A and B are shown apart, each in its own frame.
Chain A
């Protein structure tokens, strides 16, 4: 029997295309003058940690791959294409070439199915990666040299009610953890979500004009800080208790499920999270936050 796999770390890893646009990487066609540096510098810390951890696989719950019938798992060995962001095509036209950890993807499928979840394998090689997956994974590992698994955001939190949706996502998280352990993978998870999600409906002529960038309202800001403060203090159970209210009152994007999926897979660790940066993008609250589970291992205690 091979070595048991484990989750090395999990990241709250938001996906505004503005972050890739502000960075001007060679994969992206549009050019900018920069912008949103605080978030981009936060991601630089994530990149350094991933380089140091050297995980076998990066897993992302894909907020903008929204599915109606169950949870879909990308099982295509290699996907190549151009991700033109449908809402911000002037910011993100990104050339990607990504390898999937198909063995792990299929293991998650089997585990989820055995738990009674509706789950599907996506095997169409012409499928286009959603921009949340592209942005989050670029910001975490722009070399794209680590295989990935991308999982759709089933819309059950919106369609069946929040509690039912959360239960679905947490079941998916447990299935994901078991699959990682069974396949021996050293894995890093990413919940591709913003925090508060009310935003402006007009864009400045220069998208990266930071003069216009501010939180949508004070209520959102207070909510974001309340949640982040609980994260940094390691009061995970209290944070978890507040999340439904946070979603309701701040239109938090974590409703789409990825954060519940990730935290459940990691066992909702009562540990201090590393809040690497917070700023707004078109008025939404975005934070890059890490939970390095290696710190819970005996050698680190």
Chain B
């Protein structure tokens, strides 16, 4: 396990938790706030965020524009409000991650462009974990074709790059659990995860609480197949690659539905 990773988190990235008024979303929000307080108390030098809503197709991409600034209007969930953003990027860390990824045989590029569309998942995580944007971040995109091995490698080299720079970082995987979205409008108060998906989500979370992180990786393909899990749950592989498959029990701050999909706020304290 890399000593550079002081916290590892698995968190949802849908904007419903920012201001949605459903009881389930309020519960997720409260859990997210607890996780955020825990992260800030650890005083990390940087956050490394891997978001399933930041999409890569050719290789891997790492955000390296020094200060992204703008307003995000989610293409699906714009009814939940605009998301203004203005935050610092740890360019040195992003560069080191990309170099390490390339050295490991992955193809990684730096994103150095103003007006680049920062994804909603990253911004939701920022809102809870880094609300004042005082902690620099490095953002990794999720390659839609990458498998377990590549994502674990990307996670490992992310941690190694942080260690080389003597950064103490929180590794944050922004991902949903099961992916069974309602495809019509709903009464948010009635939001729920379908029972079969709920059973799968709880099985995954129980294993994480028991410290069986490796077992979850083995189960992940079946989980993804059965529930349409967010990006085949590959953000988990990246997180475990970075965190080194900790066997300490995870803390599940919250679990619940977001528009039928599964969402959880999970934290590993590693320092």
Is there an interface contact between B75 and A84, defined as CB atoms closer than 8 Å? no
Chain B: residues with Cβ within 8 Å of the partner, total of 29
Is there an interface contact between B115 and A87, defined as CB atoms closer than 8 Å? no
Q: Which residues of B contact A93 (CB under 8 A)?
A: 113, 115
- Smallest distance from the beta carbon of B81 to chain A beta carbons, Å? 10
Is there an interface contact between A159 and B57, defined as CB atoms closer than 8 Å? no
Q: Is A248 an interface residue (CB 8 A)?
A: no
- Smallest distance from the beta carbon of A60 to chain B beta carbons, Å? 15
Query: Restricting to A262-286, which residues have a CB under 8 Å from any CB of B?
Result: 282
Query: Restricting to A69-111, which residues have a CB under 8 Å from any CB of B?
Result: 69-70, 81-82, 84, 86-90, 93
Is there an interface contact between B184 and A86, defined as CB atoms closer than 8 Å? no
Chain A: residues with Cβ within 8 Å of the partner, total of 32
Q: Is B55 an interface residue (CB 8 A)?
A: yes
Is there an interface contact between A127 and B54, defined as CB atoms closer than 8 Å? no
Known: A84-B113, A84-B115. A201 touches B58 (CB 8 A): yes
Residue of B54, B59, B119 near A202 (CB, 8 A) is B59
Is there an interface contact between B181 and A84, defined as CB atoms closer than 8 Å? no
Is there an interface contact between B76 and A68, defined as CB atoms closer than 8 Å? yes
Q: Is A23 an interface residue (CB 8 A)?
A: no
Q: Is A4 an interface residue (CB 8 A)?
A: no
Q: Is B107 an interface residue (CB 8 A)?
A: yes
Residue of A67, A82, A84, A87 near B55 (CB, 8 A) is A87
Is there an interface contact between B145 and A201, defined as CB atoms closer than 8 Å? yes
Query: Restricting to A190-228, which residues have a CB under 8 Å from any CB of B?
Result: 199-203
Q: Is A50 an interface residue (CB 8 A)?
A: no
Known: A118-B185, A122-B78, A126-B73. A84 touches B116 (CB 8 A): yes
Query: Restricting to B88-115, which residues have a CB under 8 Å from any CB of A?
Result: 107, 109, 111, 113, 115
Q: Which residues of B contact A128 (CB under 8 A)?
A: 73, 75, 117
Is there an interface contact between B185 and A65, defined as CB atoms closer than 8 Å? no
Residue of B76, B82, B259 near A67 (CB, 8 A) is B76
Whole-angstrom CA separation of A68 from B80 in the bound complex: 14
Known: A82-B115, A202-B107. A87 touches B58 (CB 8 A): yes
Is there an interface contact between A86 and B116, defined as CB atoms closer than 8 Å? yes
- Smallest distance from the beta carbon of A97 to chain B beta carbons, Å? 15
- Smallest distance from the beta carbon of B68 to chain A beta carbons, Å? 11
- Closest residue of chain B to A127 (Cβ to Cβ) is B73
Known: A87-B56, A87-B57, A160-B183. A126 touches B115 (CB 8 A): no
Q: Is A130 an interface residue (CB 8 A)?
A: yes
Q: Is A143 an interface residue (CB 8 A)?
A: no
Q: Is B71 an interface residue (CB 8 A)?
A: yes
Q: Which residues of B contact A203 (CB under 8 A)?
A: 58-59, 107
Whole-angstrom CA separation of A69 from B109 in the bound complex: 33
Q: Which residues of A contact B107 (CB under 8 A)?
A: 201-203
Chain A CB count within 10 A is highest, among B58, B141, B182, for: B58
Whole-angstrom CA separation of A127 from B184 in the bound complex: 21
Residue of B76, B113, B259 near A89 (CB, 8 A) is B113
Is there an interface contact between B78 and A127, defined as CB atoms closer than 8 Å? yes
Q: Which residues of B contact A160 (CB under 8 A)?
A: 183
Sample of 23 A–B contacts (CB below 8 Å): A65-B75, A68-B76, A68-B183, A68-B259, A69-B182, A69-B184, A70-B183, A70-B184, A82-B115, A84-B115, A84-B117, A86-B141, A87-B55, A89-B113, A93-B113, A118-B184, A124-B82, A127-B78, A128-B73, A199-B57, A200-B58, A201-B57, A203-B107
Other A-B contacts than A84-B116, A126-B82, A203-B107, 12 sampled, CB-CB below 8 A, are: A65-B75, A67-B76, A69-B185, A90-B113, A124-B82, A127-B73, A128-B73, A128-B75, A128-B117, A156-B183, A159-B183, A201-B145
Instruction: State the B residues within 8 Å of A (CB).
Output: 54-59, 71, 73, 75-76, 78, 82, 107, 109, 111, 113, 115-117, 119, 141, 143, 145, 181-185, 259
Top 7 A-B pairs ranked by shortest CB distance?
A82-B115, A203-B58, A89-B113, A84-B115, A124-B78, A84-B116, A127-B73
